[in-house]
Structures are given as C-alpha cells and as structure tokens.
Amino acid sequence: MIPLKDNNPSRRFPLVNYLLIVVNILVYVWMATQGSQDSSIIYKYALIPQELMQNGLSFMNIFRVFASMFMHGGLLHIGGNMLYLWIFGDNVEDAMGHTVYLIFYLAGGIAATAAQVAADPNSNIPMLGASGAIAAVLGAYLILFPRSRVLTLIVLGFFIRLMLVPAVIVLGLWFILQLFSGVLSLGAVSAGGVAFFAHIGGFVFGLLLGKLLARNTTSYDISSYRGF
C-alpha cells in the first residue's frame, strides 16, 4: 500500500513541516553534489552506533544524531520519507502547534536513534534518514486521527486500485510490518539495510506522546474526494 493523500486538511499553514521537507531536500542535494552517496561524507556526519558506544555523547556524536535525521542514501529513500511527512505531518503540527511539533519531531528522531543503537550497539554501519522522526509523526497521527481516511494505491499483482483506507489500517499495518521485519532482522542487524528498530522506537514514541502534546485534535474527516 502506498499512501498518496489523507482527507484531513489542516487548519493552519504547516510551516514547520514544510521547512523540514525543504531542509531534508537541501541536505540531499548538497550530499549529491559532493559525490557518490557512499562517500566519506556519510561516515563523517552520520551516526555510527559502535562509535557512539565507545566515545559516548561527545559534541561530534551529538551533532551526528541530529545530522543523521536529515541525510538520505538515495532518491527512493528521501522520496518515500518526504511523501509520508507531507501526508501526515501537517495534521500533527496543526494539533501540537509549530514549536511543540518541531521539538516533538526532533525528540522522536532521538528516540528512534536510541532504539536502533540499543538493538545493535556494535554496528559500524552509519545510520541516516528521517524515517525514525517521521515514524514518531505517524504514531502521533494514528493516536490523534485514527478515523481519518487515506487515499491509498493498492498493488496486488495485476490488481491496482485507488482506495480510501482508514488511517488506523494504513499506519497499523505499516507498524506491524516494521515490528515483524525488526524481529526477523535480529540475527543479522549488523549487516546494514533498513533500521527497523528506529522505525519501531519512533512510532512508539509518537503513540505515547502524541495525545499528550496535542492541543487541537479536530479531524475534518471528509467522506470523499473531488477531482478523482
């Protein structure tokens, strides 16, 4: 399932969410201009769990925790992350307010990083991507707007269809997939690939704090779309 749009318009302009998307894109463009995505830039600025465990929270490692949230390894990586942030982030920002949302987003990224490091503390593979922080946004959206519906592209073999699917199903299935994949990856977490435990940690963080930090949880819950 590929989400395309939700039916829950925000009340106010999602300034912080748009700025986060812009910063992620600018960092990706900057990385692309420096050479290949597996260059020394990634090892210089992205967080490496093993180094964090050995050297602790040095200034550079703290910087890498935040820098890693805005670095991506390819077009599909950043494209997928920004799509999810675009769809779900505006409503969470609307519910929390601009400042609280920014703090929540960054804190969600920290929680996601901590979860991944705890799952594989000896990994020497750099961690990068906004997916942990975005997972926190998804968790908050699920707890705040479970009855909103998401226009979703469903592809099952030759069956391709656009459907309005409740957010609780779209995001619930996403989390189950991360949880299942994370458990299966436990025997080979040092091999690289997707940081499933960052997704899990971020999502749980969002579930726990989403309702607590929200000031406005009104969902428009539009029953249908026009223009399709």
How many residues can be counted in the chain? 228
Report pLDDT digits (tens) over 181-209.
Answer: 887 767 654 445 678 899 999 999 999 99
Report pLDDT digits (tens) over 83-128.
Answer: 999 999 999 999 999 999 999 999 999 999 999 999 989 888 899 9
Alpha carbon distance, N-terminus to C-terminus of the chain? 18
Please say if the pLDDT value at position 227 is more than 70. Answer: no
Q: Which residue did the predictor score with more confidence, 36 or 157?
A: 157
Considering Cα of 77, then 84, then 180, then 139, what sign does the dihedral take? Answer: positive
What does the pLDDT read at residue 219? Answer: 56
Whether the Cβ atoms of residue 148 and residue 8 lie closer than 8 Å to each other? yes
| Ordered structural domains, the chain, with CATH | 2-213 (1.20.1540.10)
Residue % of the chain over a pLDDT of 90:
67
Q: Give the C-alpha separation, 40 to 49, whole Å.
A: 17
Whether the Cβ atoms of residue 116 and residue 49 lie closer than 8 Å to each other? yes
